[in-house]
Amino acid sequence: MYGCIFVFYLQYHLVYLSRRSIMKKIKTKLTKRSLYSVIITSLAIIISITSISISYCYNRKDNDALTTDSINDNSDNPKVYNHLQNELGKHVHVGVSALGRNYTDDALVVAQKLNASDCANNGHKVVYLTFDDGVSTTSTRKVLDILRNYDVHATFFVTGVSLIEGGDRAASLLKQAFNDGHAIGNHSYSHNYKYLFPNRVLNLDNFVADYKENDKLLSKILGPSFVTRVIRCPGGRMSWQGIEALDNYTKENHIAAVDWNALNGDAEGNTKNAQELYNFAVATSQGKELVVLLMHDDYGKQATVDALPKIIEYFKSNGYDFRTLS
C-alpha cells in the first residue's frame, strides 16, 4: 500500500513540475512548436508513471492475498485450485468435491506452518481432523456417520491396499466421504516402510511410483476429474532420513506433504481405550490455535470411533473451526 502511495505521490509532483516548466516556457515567449513538444513529453511521462503505478498496486494486492496471517480467512480459497486447474481444466476436483470447497484450506500453507512448528493462526482457532490408513469397511463408515451428525468435516489420507482389500464396499465409502464434503489425501498405495524407506532412508523413485499408483486408483474410483495434491508419508515425513529429496520433489510439483502436531495416540504404544485417546488428543492440542490431529480409521480402531464424539465436542466447546486440507 505504501508503495502505491509513493508512486502516486511521485506522479503528482511530475505533473506539477511539468506544468511549472510549461508556464515558465510560456513566460519566456516560446514558439508554439516548442510548447507542443514540452506538452507531448510531459504527457508521455504521466502515462508511463500511471501504468507503472497501476501495475505495481495490482501485483502488490495479489501478493498480499497469498500471505494472509490467518489460514482460513477465505472459506472458498480459490488459490488452492488455480495451479492444477490451469493444467487440467476448470472442472477438476483438487482433493474435494464442489461441496467440499466450502470447508477446505490451503494445505501448502498448513504444511509450511507445521514444518516451522508454528501453531499460531492470528487468533483464529482451527482444527483439522485427519484419519490415516483407511478406507476400512468398519471404522470409516462409523466415522462418517459421526462427522455427519456433528456437521463437521475431516481429511482422509487413504491407502491403496485398504481400497483393494475392501473392494466395492470400500470404494463406496470413499465416494461417500468425497460427496459429503470431506477432503481426500494420498497416504501411499502400499504403506510399505521397507519399500518406501529402505534402511529408514527415502527411496524417491519407489516413493513417487507408489504414490502415482494410488493416484490412479483414487481417480478410478472418484472419477477422472479428481486429483489430490495432499499427501502424508507413512510414519510421518519427520520420521525418515533423506527427506530433502522429497521436499524438492513436492515443491517442484506443488504438492503438500502434511504431517501433524497433535494426535489421539491410537497407533502409539499400548492399546488405549476411548477415554485415554480423548485425553491424549486434548493434551497434545494444548496451547495451539492451529491443530492438525492425527487419528486412524483402519480396521481395529473401534476405540477411536468411540472417542471421536467427545473429541469433536471438546474442540467445539473451545471455539475451534473444523476445516479440511486440499
Q: In sequence order, what DSSP letters do the residues of 221-274 get, joined into one string?
A: HH-TTEE--EE--TT-GGG-BSTHHHHHHHHHTT-EE---SEE--TTSSS---H
Angle 79-80-83 (CA atoms, 0-180°, nearest 5)?
A: 75
Do residue 156 and residue 84 come from a single domain? yes
Do residue 55 and residue 149 come from a single domain? no
Instruction: Give the pLDDT confidence score for residue 178 in this predicted structure.
Output: 98
Instruction: Give the pLDDT confidence score for residue 2 in this predicted structure.
Output: 42
Instruction: Give the pLDDT confidence score for residue 89 in this predicted structure.
Output: 45
Residue 71 in domain: no
Amino acid (one-letter) located at 18: S
Instruction: Give the pLDDT confidence score for residue 83 in this predicted structure.
Output: 45
Residue 72 in domain: no
Residue 125 in domain: yes
How far is Cα 223 from Cα 214, in angstroms, rounded to an integer?
13
Amino acid (one-letter) located at 105: D
| Helix residue ranges, H only, 28-123 | 32-66, 82-88, 107-115
Residue 236 in domain: yes
Give me the domain span that covers residue 16. Answer: 2-66
Query: Which of 40, 66, 92 corresponds to the end of one domain?
Result: 66
Do residue 125 and residue 221 come from a single domain? yes
Give the number of domains in the chain: 2
Query: Which of 39, 66, 93 corresponds to the end of one domain?
Result: 66
Do residue 57 and residue 185 come from a single domain? no
List the CATH number of the domain containing 175.
Answer: 3.20.20.370
Do residue 45 and residue 141 come from a single domain? no
Do residue 98 and residue 247 come from a single domain? yes
CB 251 within 8 A of CB 229: no
Burial 131-170 (b: 16+ CB within 10 A, else e): bbbbbbbbbbbbbbebbeeeebbbbbbbbbbbbeebeeeb
Residue 73 in domain: no
Instruction: Give the pLDDT confidence score for residue 71 in this predicted structure.
Output: 63
Do residue 157 and residue 58 come from a single domain? no
Do residue 92 and residue 227 come from a single domain? yes
**Which residue is associated with the grid cell 505521490?**
9
Residue 121 in domain: yes
How far is Cα 120 from Cα 293, in angstroms, rounded to an integer?
15
Q: Please write the tens of the pLDDT for every residue from 57-88.
A: 334 333 332 233 456 543 344 444 444 445 44
What predicted TM-score, i.e. pTM, was given to this entire model? 0.76
Do residue 174 and residue 250 come from a single domain? yes
Residue 31 in domain: yes
Q: Is 295 helix (H, G, I), strand (E, B) or coil?
A: strand
Q: Please write the tens of the pLDDT for every residue from 231-290.
A: 999 999 999 999 999 999 999 999 999 999 999 999 999 999 999 999 999 999 999 999
Do residue 44 and residue 167 come from a single domain? no
Query: Which of 66, 96, 114 corresponds to the end of one domain?
Result: 66
Do residue 60 and residue 165 come from a single domain? no
**Ranges of residues in the chain whose predicted pLDDT is under 70:** 1-92
Do residue 186 and residue 55 come from a single domain? no
Count, residues in the chain: 326
Residue 161 in domain: yes
Q: In sequence order, what DSSP letters do the residues of 126-166 get, joined into one string?
A: EEEEEEEEE--SSHHHHHHHHHHHHT--EEEEE-HHHHHHH
Instruction: Give the pLDDT confidence score for residue 72 in this predicted structure.
Output: 53
